[in-house]
Amino acid sequence: MLAQLERLRDRLHREPPARVALRAQAGLNGSMVELDFWGEHVSVDWPDLLPQLADGRPTSTFDTAMLLYYLSQADGETPNGVWISFRDLPGGGFYHQAFQGYSGDRICRAFEADPGALGRSAAALDGRPLPEIAATAYAFQPLPLIRLAVVLWQGDEEVPSRATVLFDEMSSHHLPTDGLALLGAGLAGRLLAHHAG
């Protein structure tokens, strides 16, 4: 992971921070690129490229990787509101079942008996309802140009309950598919952590 972080930093050093901020829809404050990540303000200093939270603590290695991947790949395309499954992302078909297992299936097990709890957990993460998709569906914006959604379909005697994580169609402009998988898994983890209290 550390070698990959250095490769991402090398790639980012090829551009001025103002161009990176523009592509990623982030702010620029002197030599700091500023953006929100899962609702927390993050500053990325230039040229060291060490992301910090608002209180000055460094982000985790995992979050640092997500942020540097995003800053290096984001191309400015805005979300278009078309929701697709992980399978529809570039190369996502091969890993779809694994992704479903550690994202949608976990969400379903935790919330199928109490969909209202999913709504409360979603609200705590600034999720907004998506009634046009399903009665229990919420959209999230973990990074300025990336939107994810969680959908829970209630089952009955004939059809089991099911949950899935969806992605705005433009998300692959801003993170590679494996990065989006980790972001989706992170959403599941955050929802479950809030639910557990």
Report the 10 Å Cβ neighbour count for 7: 12
* CA-wise closest residue to 146 among 196, 93, 187: 187
pLDDT surpassing 80 at residue 85: yes
Rounded to 10 deg, the angle between the 177-196 and 92-102 helix axes is 10
Give the dihedral sign, CA 104/106/110/113: positive
Provide the residue ranges of all domains of the chain, joining segments of one domain with +: 2-73, 83-196
- What confidence tier does 1 reach under pLDDT thresholds 50, 70, 90? confident
Residue 135's identity, in one-letter code, is: A
pLDDT of residue 176: 95
- The predicted structure's pLDDT at residue 48: 95
Measured CA to CA in angstroms, residue 182 lies from 65, 67, 99, 136 at distances of: 10, 12, 9, 23
